[in-house]
Amino acid sequence: MRVWLFITLMLMSSWVNAYSFEQATSISQVQEVRYNHLLGELRCLVCQNQSLADSNAPLALDLKREVYDQIKIGKTDDEIKTFLVSRYGEYILFKPQFTKTTFVLWLGPVVFLVGSFIILFISIRRQKTDPIV
């Protein structure tokens, strides 16, 4: 019984320590706004469809700490994103940059939508011109 209590207390204390790193040092309010904004733009690599702000995965906590430290030393948002992309790839960004490797992500939905309207228009037009049998 004492062993389980000890393990539970140890796990709870490590959880509290993981979340209290931001409170140990102070940053300005402007930096805090930048920090929260960046966490919303970056994807958790473990949870995949969650932002870093929404994720509590261990890797997300490490990335949060990394973003926090970089903001604290005065890096710009672009420098932080460039660093994270060089380390983890374009996947970490919710909005990847428009490059020759990501153009399908940006233009694909538009091409699909226009193609769908063209097919719909042609099928409606054929239906009007075909005699009813």
Give yes or no for residue 98 having a pLDDT over 80: no
**Residue-number span of the structural domain to which 29 is assigned:** 2-96
Same domain? 20 vs 57: yes
Mean pLDDT (whole number) for 11-38: 68
Same domain? 37 vs 20: yes
Same domain? 92 vs 102: no
How confident is the model at residue 22, as a pLDDT? 44
How confident is the model at residue 45, as a pLDDT? 86
Asked if 22 contacts 36 with a C-beta cutoff of 8 angstroms, the reply is no
User: Where residue 6 falls among pLDDT bands split at 50, 70, 90?
Assistant: low
How confident is the model at residue 17, as a pLDDT? 46
Distance CA 101, CA 91 (A): 12
Percent share of the chain, pLDDT over 90: 32
Distance CA 30, CA 42 (A): 19
Give yes or no for residue 14 having a pLDDT over 60: no
Give yes or no for residue 43 having a pLDDT over 50: yes
Q: Residue 115's Cα: distance from chain center in Å?
A: 30
Asked if 32 contacts 23 with a C-beta cutoff of 8 angstroms, the reply is no
Same domain? 42 vs 106: no
Same domain? 111 vs 81: no
Same domain? 123 vs 68: no
Query: What is the count of structural domains for the chain?
Result: 2
